[in-house]
């Protein structure tokens, strides 16, 4: 228990890191790219699908 008391901040960072990677990807389309079509049905300008998932 002393280890946890001394290193609690690293445990918090680790939990936040894992949580953001599991649940924080909804804002930019998720994994795989999928259908990246704009409102007109065409491809969105500036998107390069050959590079895959990027941050």
Alpha-carbon separation of residue 40 from 2, 11, 34, 45, 46 (angstroms): 59, 46, 17, 12, 15
Predicted confidence at residue 24, as pLDDT, reads 75
pLDDT band for position 23 (cuts 50, 70, 90): confident
Residues 1 and 9: their CA atoms lie apart, in Å, by 14
Task: Tell me which of 37 and 6 has the higher pLDDT.
Answer: 6
Residue 21 pLDDT > 80: yes
Say if residue 36's pLDDT is above 70. no
């Amino acid at each position: 228990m002393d280890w946890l008391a001394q290193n609690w901040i690293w445990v918090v960072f680790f939990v936040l890191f894992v949580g953001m990677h599991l649940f924080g990807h909804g804002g930019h389309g998720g994994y795989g790219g999928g259908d990246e079509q704009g409102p007109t049905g065409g491809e969105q300008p500036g998107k390069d699908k050959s590079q895959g998932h990027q941050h």
